[in-house]
Amino acid sequence: MIREQRKRKKRRKIGLFIFLIFLLLAVVAVLVVWKVFTVKEVRVEGNKLYSSEQIEELVLNDEYSWNSLYVLAKYNFTQMEAVPFLDTIEVTLDDPHTVHISVYEKGMLGCLYIEAIGQYAYFDKDGFVVETSTEEIAGVPKVTGIDCQEVVIYEKLPLEQKGVLENLLNLTQILKKYDLVPQEIHYDESLQPTLTYYGTRVVVGSDEYLTQKVVRMAAIMPELAGLYGTLYLDSWTPETTDIIYKRDE
């Protein structure tokens, strides 16, 4: 009987000792999280449409955001609210004091104004609508002269004119490749595009020899800086290589 009581006391002491060890470790862990994982620096990359300060305010947006471990857990285990023109935001830690924010913006090649909803529909390289907004985003060309009555997010642009979407996507992708993104792409009654670059207009014509036309255009455009006029590429072919430029009167 006495031996059993001694065994029970010994087991209680061991249990209490183990509990105290776990309690001590928990206190140390809390102190480490509280004192060590503090945000002192924020690094933002991949952002063009939003400033680094805006992205930082977007991510560190509550009273606990001083703690880097909390920020890491928040953006890896909870669903972030949708932000216009942003696809995803990834948050990692470079060290206990440095939050690293990687921004992935939606790939937008152009936009059309949809009168029925009073907003611009922004589309990607495949012609899918990725965003609608009343804002005009700098660096994204506005497309005019073609009809589109309604759009659905993540569905293709339902353009009424046949063949225009394929032309538009080819044109916008090639222009982006050669760093020649215009302010506006206007389709005339014959569905031929004209590009606007501040004081210069470029009549592209049909999509025949489109890449070659853009290559020539890339070589010519630096010479037209500060001028006002129209560059005609619509008649260019490998056999007819003359390119006409008419200055505005």
Percent of the chain predicted with pLDDT > 70: 86
Q: For residues 216 and 139, what is the distance between their CA atoms, to the nearest angstrom? A: 22
pLDDT tens digits for range 132-146: 999 999 899 999 999
Q: What is the pLDDT of residues 110-162, one digit of tens each?
A: 999 999 999 999 999 999 999 999 999 989 999 999 988 889 998 999 987 87
DSSP 153: T
49-64 mean pLDDT: 90
The string of pLDDT tens digits covering residues 159-190 is 878 789 999 999 999 999 999 999 999 999 98
Degrees, nearest 5: CA angle 105-176-124: 45
Please state, in angstroms and rounded to a whole number, the distance separating the CA atoms of residues 43 and 61.
16
Q: Which fold has domain 110-247?
A: Rossmann fold (3.40.50)
pLDDT at 206: 87
pLDDT, average across residues 221-247:
91
Q: What pTM was estimated for this model as a whole?
A: 0.77
CA atoms of 120 and 24, how far apart (whole Å): 59
Each domain of the chain, given as residue ranges in start order, spans 41-105, 110-247
